[in-house]
Structure 1
């Protein structure tokens, strides 16, 4: 079994791109879960057993080196997403607020791209589409697409996580009298005022 235990960098890095053996590197496709694990056992695209032991999150185009000096290029398996597209729709502020809170309170991961909100499909696309359809203002459309899971990584153009969706742009939220109870692990959020700024900016068309 090949064991890739050294992270060299991205394939576009000059030091990696200039290696004479880069063109002959093995390829491995990792799921979004596997790329985040410190140890993974999988197979290269040509069927060889491969252990990945680099202790870091991997991205499309990362290059690893095995114990024997062979190179392995990482590719990420694409994921299904639901795309909510404002397009040319004239969305009022009220509708934007309602849409932002309705979708944000679903605790889905979020990425915003050129006036579109992208959500990874957690179950089935049809069920997710039906859930979203109830909250769409007139003129706002949805479609299915496959993208790299890296689109939802920290440092993306605008992204949020489940639990408390957030972006790293203008987003802020307050937790009011946020308190956790003991016992059965129940907890209350008091006057929890949760802003979904990324979604609201998208719905108003600020991202276009």
Structure 2
């Protein structure tokens, strides 16, 4: 069995493309799981058994070497649902795509999320700085980041019970504006109650969550 264990380059590189053109390369089609593995066994398109041992995520057009033969990588296409927002009027279209990007960033980290009125709540699952660095690039102008104390039931799916939460004297927020973002500190504490239900859009198994006691 041949083993491709050297990364030569990509077909985008004219020199690499010329080497491939002037040789008798193998071609291999890699699926979504295999392309992320550092090593796997597969079969080239002509039936040649092939081992791949390369410490990188494979991309379409990558060229590997077994020592004696070049191997051109092709990624297997996947079926995808396409959501076309071209028919949605601005500014709603921009808002929808921004929300999708933010939801994807949050969901990749399996953070709980509760949406209530005009606010979205994320229990602190990491440092404030790291969480801010994750969500800030996806926030539109005018959105703010604040820190609040909320009951853990806020993140229970389908919770319809009354709940209350308060902003302490050390409450901190900053907002995004057209010229970047500004910071402000609120010194007066206040509390408010809500009588409507909320639900977690990305609940963890079992419903466990940080109650947001870090403020």
TM-score by length of 1: 0.49
Task: Look at both structures and tell me which one has the larger radius of gyration over its CA atoms.
Answer: 2
More relative contact order, 1 or 2 (CA 8 Å, 6+ apart): 1
